[in-house]
Structure 1
Amino acid sequence: MADAKQPQLEDKNKPEVEDELAGSEAPLLEHLIELRKRLIYSAIAVVVLMIGCFLISKNIFDILLGPYRGVYANDPTHTIELIYTAPQELFFTELNLAFFGAIFLGFPFIATQIYLFVAPGLYKHERKALVPYLIATPIFFIMGALMVYFTVLPMALHFFAGMETEEIKLMPRVSEYLGFAMTLILAFGICFQLPVVLTLLAQIDLVNVEMLKKGRRFAIVGILIVAALITPPDPISQIGLALPMYALYELAILSVRIVQKRREAKLAAQEAELSGSSSE
């Protein structure tokens, strides 16, 4: 009797599954057209934001100069001066500032465009599961940027300023200082996506808690290598990135454990439901 009912249940659920996947299968050409559309939208947003940021590049410069001012906040005799040594250097520095501001401000929009490109190929429950990560991505990016601005960059500048002597004074070029600050901000913002990425991989069952625990030693080595590659060649910046990344790795293990427990509970509930329906 149970065997006779089982196909009926499967047939009853079949239209719902087909409805979920409706429109998700598209020819390669349609995928390429959709990808081009999302790339064009992202490029337009970056260009518009870049124009706006170029108009206020002096304000962005003042904000990024804050940690450098803080180094000499208690030294009224020191004049805050940055120099440029080529006629075109300041202009191109302002362009770099505008591009940096456009990427920083446009990051949520770009992430949304990536989601809109991927979403049609996902089930309904997968699309819903992806929304929290879409929200978490810019939040973690901003957290990384704030950590650079208030902690890592001031520490690095204090370290370098402490090497001054009576004959040798720190007088950085404007392009080098801003390049140093923007590199750190973008590097930390990207690396702070580690828990988001690992938790998302756990959602699709590509990683689990046991795998992350066993790979902890390899993760430490990888974190040190990444910190050495994407930060300026000074120990303060590298250690300042490596330590938070390892803390984020441990946070990712906790997040993956929660995801894994939810999945196991859901599977157990489904098995109980199936066993109950088959016993009838």
Structure 2
Amino acid sequence: MSDKPSDHDDQEMPLVSHLTELRTRILRCVLATFLIFLGLFYFAQKIYAFASEPIRRVLPEGATMISTDVTSPFLAPFKLTLVVSLFIAMPVILHQVWGFVAPGLYRHEKKVAIPLLISSIVLFYAGMAFAYFLVFPIIFHFFSSITPEGAMMMPDLNAYLDFILTLFFAFGVAFEIPVATVLLIWIGVVDVAYLKKIRPYVIIGCFVVGMILTPPDVFSQTMLAVPMWLLFEIGLLFGRFVQKRERPLADEDASPEAQPPAERP
């Protein structure tokens, strides 16, 4: 019997190699998040105090946050610290994603992909900072001002945490709009002229998304919708400099991993 591997084995090996590499990179992401979490766990209570500062600042005199669950004083800071660790590890996670997909890209594709990758990290953090320093004070001041007479605003630890994490994620993703716009133009799904044509629908869509992702008040909805629209315009601006992606004909433009192996004499 011949020891030569079958065609079936030749076809399976690349898939197995990719899955093995994917597993390795996922483990690296988990390890990075876990190590950051271990370093931050000691400061879990302080992290929660920092996150709750916007609402504690507007609470009436004598009011405090409450816990309607016995485990909330421990689980709420624990959960928040874990999420913060994930956010801090985002550059490592995106770097692992880049390392997995980069070998299949051409050189001219990498020149566009690297700025998009870096921009996505910066914009995600910018969206979270925008929510914490600008949106939260306005929202919580509004809620505090409309508290009915005879009632006292005393937010629950877990409810508050779920609320701010939702807004952090919403604003972080919303600030990725320029990256998504440039990416769609780059891969040829749409062009700048078409996006300009549908601008009115995009603006309406921004307010619809703001209505869905934020509390039912006009301030928070507007403060998410308007930045989304402005970020869309920024994406259009940079999209003018990005042409539709085309595969190069010359072999020298291709990445070494993407080139076919040379034929043996």
Determine if the TM-score, normalized by the shorter chain, exceeds 0.5: yes
Out of 50, 67, 80, the position equivalent to 1:84 is: 67
Out of 217, 225, 236, the position equivalent to 2:200 is: 217
Tell me the residue number matched to 2:81.
98
Does structure 1 residue 237 correspond to structure 2 residue 220? yes
Does structure 1 residue 132 correspond to structure 2 residue 115? yes
Distance 1:235 1:101, change over 3 A: same
SS in 1 for 2:241: helix
Tell me the residue number matched to 1:71.
58
TM-score, normalised via structure 2 length: 0.80
What one-letter code is carried by the residue in structure 1 that aligns with 2:167? L
What one-letter code is carried by the residue in structure 2 that aligns with 1:199? V
Q: What is the rounded CA distance, in whole Å, between the counterparts of 1:119 and 1:214 in structure 2?
A: 34
Does structure 1 residue 145 correspond to structure 2 residue 128? yes
Out of 157, 162, 185, the position equivalent to 1:179 is: 162
What one-letter code is carried by the residue in structure 2 that aligns with 1:245? M
State the structure with more CA Rg.
1
Q: What is the rounded CA distance, in whole Å, between the counterparts of 1:212 and 1:246 in structure 2?
A: 12
* Length, aligned pairs only: 233
Does structure 1 residue 117 correspond to structure 2 residue 100? yes
Q: What is the rounded CA distance, in whole Å, between the counterparts of 1:236 and 1:95 in structure 2?
A: 30
Q: What is the rounded CA distance, in whole Å, between the counterparts of 1:50 and 1:70 in structure 2?
A: 27
Out of 184, 198, 204, the position equivalent to 2:187 is: 204
Distance 1:106 1:87, change over 3 A: same
Tell me the residue number matched to 2:27.
40
User: Which 4+ stretches in 1 moved above 6 angstroms?
Assistant: none
Tell me the residue number matched to 1:17.
none
Distance 1:241 1:129, change over 3 A: same
Identical aligned residues as a percent:
38
Q: What is the rounded CA distance, in whole Å, between the counterparts of 2:71 and 2:49 in structure 1?
A: 20
Tell me the residue number matched to 2:178.
195
> In the TM superposition, what whole-angstrom CA distance separates every residue of 1:131-162 from its partner, at most 9, and x where no partner exists?
11121112111111111111111111011000
2:167, 2:214 within 8 Å by CA — same for their partners in 1?
yes
Tell me the residue number matched to 1:250.
233
> In the TM superposition, what whole-angstrom CA distance separates every residue of 1:21-78 from its partner, at most 9, and x where no partner exists?
xxxxx82222222222221111122222223332211121121122124435xxxx71
Tell me the residue number matched to 1:54.
41
Q: What is the rounded CA distance, in whole Å, between the counterparts of 1:129 and 1:214 in structure 2?
A: 25
Out of 111, 121, 138, the position equivalent to 1:155 is: 138
Q: What is the rounded CA distance, in whole Å, between the counterparts of 2:217 and 2:79 in structure 1?
A: 23
Q: Which sections of structure 2, spanning at least 5 residues, go unmatched?
A: 1-12, 246-265
CA shift at 1:225, angstroms? 3.4
2:37, 2:82 within 8 Å by CA — same for their partners in 1?
yes
1:198, 1:256 within 8 Å by CA — same for their partners in 2?
yes
